Amino acid sequence: MGKVWVVAEQREGKLKKVTFEMVTLARQIGGEVEGVVIGKDVKGLASELGEYGVGKVYVADHPDLEQYTTAKYTRVLAELINKEKPEVVLIANSAQGRDFAPRTAQRVGAGQVSDITGYEEGVFVRPIYAGKAYTKVGATSHPLIVTVRPNVFSAAEKTGGQAAIEEVAVSFMPEDLKAIVKEVVKQVSGRPELTEADIIVSGGRGMKGPENFKLLEDLADVLGAAVGASRAAVDAGWREHRYQVGQTGKTVSPSLYIAVGISGAIQHLAGMGSSKVIVAINKDPEANIFKVADYGIVGDLFEIVPLLTEEFKKLLKS
Q: Binding site residues, as ranges?
A: 205, 230-231, 244-248, 261-268, 282
> CA–CA separation, 165 vs 181, rounded Å?
28
Residue 213 has phi, psi (to 5 degrees) of -65, -15
> CA–CA separation, 186 vs 209, rounded Å?
25
Residues with Cβ within 8 Å of 174's Cβ and at least 6 positions away in sequence, in order, are none
> CA–CA separation, 8 vs 19, rounded Å?
5
CA distances from 261 to 104, 236, 238, 300 (A): 40, 14, 13, 9
Beta bridge partners of 297: 281
Judge whether 182 and 268 are in contact, CB under 8 Å: no
Residue 203 has phi, psi (to 5 degrees) of -120, 150
Task: Return binding residues for FAD.
Answer: 205, 230-231, 244-248, 261-268, 282
